[in-house]
Amino acid sequence: MPRVESKTVTETATPQAATVAPAASTPAVFVLEDGRMFRGTSYGAQGTALGEAVFATGMTGYQETITDPSYARQLVVQTAPHIGNTGVNSDDAESRRIWVAGYIVRDAARRPSNWRSERSLDEELIEQGIVGIQGVDTRAITRHLREHKTMRAGIFSGDAAKAPDKELLDAVLASAPMEGARLAEEVSVDKAYVVDPKDHGWDGEARFSIAAIDLGIKAMTPIRFAERGVRVHVLPATSTLEDVKAVNPDGFFMSNGPGDPATADAQVKLLRSVLDEKLPYFGICFGNQILGRALGFGTYKLRYGHRGINQPVMDRRTGKVEITSQNHGFAVDAPLDGATQAPEERYGRVEVSHISLNDDVVEGLACLDIPAFSVQYHPEAAAGPHDAAYLFDRFIDLMEGTRDGRTANLSKEPVDSAHPAAPQKTDNKTEDKK
């Protein structure tokens, strides 16, 4: 397939904007907001898809990637060159639908070959109206995004690709940026449901019950809890403290999800109410950013984010390095060294428990005077390594200790016990300064 590149130069494309006629030779073009264009052929549905262009570095797990709600309104560039080899199936989806706004691959599989495959990835994209492009130089796209930051973009295929270059670029520039996007409510469930331990191999009574706020939760997350004997009440993103108390939980959880954490005022307010109740808290990804905001820290947009299943993180309490699954474009701006007083002083001391070994971005927070902690990455390992599975056990230990009155916090000792907690200047936007 030709890979012609031109220097000529949001909203997810709706099903009405895409046709479902497969055409491997139909022209398509990928347009970045700075004017750079990459030409290839159609993959999946034909039409127009607008969103934020990001790259994901996982060499496997593409089905889990495209069904992760955290990718809502994003055009995902797969850095692995061969995509679709194992097809798709009914078991590996992480949510009820594909959430990526569009999909960009280099060499799409001509046919899937795997004993679990039920249909091809191309067929799945067509069925769900997801516009994609194949036959483009994804390495060049990735290098461009790393050098110039993530940006708005568009995929145009079929009749849409025939428009003049200026019209295509104008469409991209008219699309909404990710900054200021409030998306968690769009991807969350409308009604609460329960994931019960007995349905996932647990023999006996449930050990604990938790309320989990769905901000874009992945299916494997409540399953990982259920496998450990924890009953999970999954609640909508708009839930209140009264909704949480109604399920009489032993702990509180906030999930991963899409959008700008600066827009999550309702969830920050809810979490502060939960922390005031001294209910044990665990947050993942978006839930980490919400804990940061609840404690009084700020958040900021990363230059190109962390996306993939090979991101190195250090647990500063143990000194161990974990290879983690990540998908985030925003981060918490908190002091990296030692325990510090939370800007919201009633929550006491807090420390950065995990950091990225690539760029020192905050990858976890641990409160020292209240039972709360969070991580920026995805320990459910779908897809991804199992290095971080211990975090589910850590939360169970926190709930057990709080229930038995043995501990009010997570820590054995602070990361830097030699330094007292004190307000510190926060200026760790390492990746953002590149």
Tell me the C-alpha distance between 146 and 416, whole Å: 33
- pLDDT, tens digit, for every residue of 19-54? 444 446 899 999 999 999 999 999 999 999 999 999
* C-alpha 247: how far from chain center: 26
Please tell me the pTM assigned to this model. 0.89
* Joined tokens for residue 380: 């459910």
- Cα dihedral 297→302→308→313 (10° resolution): -50
- Is pLDDT above 90 for 404? no
How high does pLDDT run on average in the chain?
A: 90
285 is catalytic: yes
* Annotated catalytic residue, options 64, 285, 322, 363: 285
pLDDT grade, residue 83 (50/70/90)? very high
- Contacts of residue 32, Cβ cutoff 8 Å, sequence gap at least 6: 9, 53, 144, 151, 152, 153, 172
- Of 99-108, 122-131, 281-290, 411-420, the poorest mean pLDDT is in 411-420
- Contacts of residue 263, Cβ cutoff 8 Å, sequence gap at least 6: 180, 181, 182
* Annotated catalytic residue, options 64, 322, 378, 431: 378
Of residues 422 and 308, more confidence is placed in: 308
- Contacts of residue 269, Cβ cutoff 8 Å, sequence gap at least 6: none
- pLDDT, tens digit, for every residue of 186-211? 999 999 999 999 999 999 999 999 99
Tell whether the torsion through CA atoms of 227, 232, 238 and 244 is positive or negative.
negative
pLDDT grade, residue 432 (50/70/90)? very low
380 is catalytic: yes
- Is pLDDT above 60 for 74? yes
367 is catalytic: no
pLDDT grade, residue 238 (50/70/90)? very high
